[in-house]
Amino acid sequence: MAAALSVFLVLGAMLAPAAGAQPTRPIYPVYEGYVPNDDGTAVLVFGYFNHNSVAVEIPAGNENGFDPGPADRGQPTVFEPGRQRNVCLIVLPADHEGNLSWTVTVAGNTEKTTERGGLDTLYLIENISMAYHLARRVDTATAEHGVCVEPEPATTGSER
């Protein structure tokens, strides 16, 4: 029994990330798509996939930024391991033209969302997804445009 416990503890220590472990793998920002609104605005939805086994902190700026600028749009600066969806919702004004892409650099790896990060119908989010329902909860009349915003809390009854 003691030998089995020792083997378990040794294996656990080998598999657990070391304290202060440095990221060695890429983080892929993901453009999930957009939801158009009746007022002409659109809500763009972004997520990411952190291939590291540890959370990675990257301040907003050159290594964690949007293009065209400003680079800091309130996006996440701590990237939890694994696939994280719907972490940044950006309201674009009705008169917005062009695309928006997110670039993340870590451990020498630079990854970028698609260049089509705008209102390309290829990325229209259908109303069956969680991203759609989160985007529809954003109050586009009061939300700051061009930065990551939090959707309104879910309410009882039907959504907008």
Per-residue pLDDT of the chain (160 residues; tens, 9 = 90+): 555 444 444 444 444 454 567 899 999 999 999 999 999 999 999 999 999 999 999 999 999 999 998 999 999 999 999 999 999 999 999 888 889 999 999 999 999 998 777 788 889 999 888 999 999 999 999 999 999 998 776 655 544 4
CB 115 within 8 A of CB 101: yes
Sole residue written with tokens 């290829």: 122
Cis peptide before 151 (omega within 30 of 0): no
pLDDT of residue 13: 45
Q: Phi and psi of 34, rounded to 5°?
A: -140, 160
pLDDT of 19 reads 53
Helix or strand (DSSP H, E) at 7: helix 2-15
pLDDT of res. 47 = 96
Which residues is 111 bridged to in the sheet? Answer: 104
pLDDT for the residue numbered 55: 97
Tell how far CA 137 is from the center of its chain: 17
Q: What is the reported pLDDT for 2?
A: 54
Q: By three-state DSSP, how is residue 90 classified?
A: strand
Q: What is the pLDDT of residue 69?
A: 87
DSSP secondary structure letter of residue 2: H
